[in-house]
């Protein structure tokens, strides 16, 4: 019997890598998707070493043509996509009054339009087959605002709105669409945020890291594998009746 197929963006590191490894362990053939081949190849080799099936697929989600090509390639290698995980994202910060247009456009192109491109390329096939799961990795910033990150917050609010709207259309077609909203994570993206805050304020990195950790209810940074656990649940049979939700981690 053929393995079900998962298409995971931003899968070369952090949360995307953790989800790819977890879904492979759960029996999925995984398209490990991202902009840089080297980390994608490393994750694919790791999955194969554990007995799983994975293929690296280079793709810039902000480019519609790239996405269409990547989906065709993944489906040629592994078959129709059963689970789409939109994890690719960027986070930059700047005071709103001095934020340049390029930062705004770049952030929305990757975080929001990239999610749309992937959904637009894959969801119609799910509707036709009357099965599929879409899991959009949003953020706590999809629900509340944070200073100096207007573009990021707006993009993640958009991802959540897109999730909820498409979930309504998906419900009668056997497809679910949900968002996962992590707090501050123990990933490279958070380390980049720490570096920016240190450069701006002169504070000690450990002090900044502790401040960000305290913003999570647990008082610590969230591990990528904890987000992967939620994604795995949403992809599972047990998650079949969860739709249109924004699940905090």
- Across residues 122-146, what is the average pLDDT? 97
Is 152 among the residues known to form the active site? yes
Q: Measuring CA to CA, how many Å separate 80 from each of 31, 33, 117, 164?
A: 11, 15, 17, 24
**Between residues 128 and 195, the one the model is more confident about:** 128
CB 37 within 8 A of CB 12: no
Q: Which of 7, 28, 104, 152 is catalytic?
A: 152
In the chain, where are the structural domains located? 5-183+224-242, 184-221
| pLDDT at 78 (0 to 100) | 97
b/e code 215-237 from CB counts within 10 Å (16+ = b): ebeeeebbbbeebbebbbbbbee
Q: Supply the CATH classification number for the domain 5-183+224-242.
A: 3.40.50.720
Determine the pLDDT at residue 1.
66
Q: What mean pLDDT comes out for the span 84-90?
A: 97
- CA distance from start to end of the chain: 34
Can you tell me the distance from the alpha carbon of 134 to that of 2, in angstroms, rounded to the nearest whole number? 20
User: What pLDDT digit, counting tens, does each position of 19-61 carry?
Assistant: 999 999 999 999 999 999 999 999 999 999 999 999 999 999 9
**Distance, CA of 64 to CA of 98 (rounded, Å):** 30
Q: What is the pLDDT of residues 181-240, one digit of tens each?
A: 998 887 778 888 778 777 777 888 888 778 787 877 888 888 999 999 999 999 999 999
Q: What is the pTM of this model?
A: 0.94
């Amino acid at each position: 019997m053929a393995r079900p197929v998962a298409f995971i963006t931003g899968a070369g590191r952090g949360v995307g890598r953790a989800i790819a490894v977890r879904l492979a362990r759960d029996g999925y053939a995984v398209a490990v998707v991202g902009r840089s081949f080297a980390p994608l190849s490393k994750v694919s080799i790791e999955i194969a070493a554990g007995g799983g099936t994975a293929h690296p697929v280079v793709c810039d989600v902000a480019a519609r043509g790239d996405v269409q090509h990547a989906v065709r390639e993944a489906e040629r290698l592994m078959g129709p996509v059963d689970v789409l995980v939109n994890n690719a994202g960027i986070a930059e910060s700047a005071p709103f009054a001095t934020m340049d247009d390029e930062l705004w456009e770049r952030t929305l192109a990757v975080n929001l339009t990239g999610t749309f491109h992937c959904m637009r390329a894959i969801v119609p096939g799910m509707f036709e087959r009357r099965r599929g799961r879409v899991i959009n990795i949003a953020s706590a910033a999809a629900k509340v605002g944070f200073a100096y990150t207007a573009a990021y917050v707006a993009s993640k609010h958009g991802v959540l709105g897109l999730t909820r709207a498409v979930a309504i259309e998906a419900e009668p077609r056997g497809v679910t669409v949900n968002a996962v909203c992590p707090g501050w994570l123990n990933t490279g993206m958070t380390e980049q945020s720490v570096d920016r805050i240190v450069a701006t304020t002169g504070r000690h990195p450990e002090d900044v890291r502790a401040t960000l950790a305290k913003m999570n209810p647990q008082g610590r940074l969230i591990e990528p594998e904890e987000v992967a656990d939620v994604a795995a649940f949403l992809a599972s049979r047990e998650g079949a009746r969860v739709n249109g939700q924004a699940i905090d981690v």
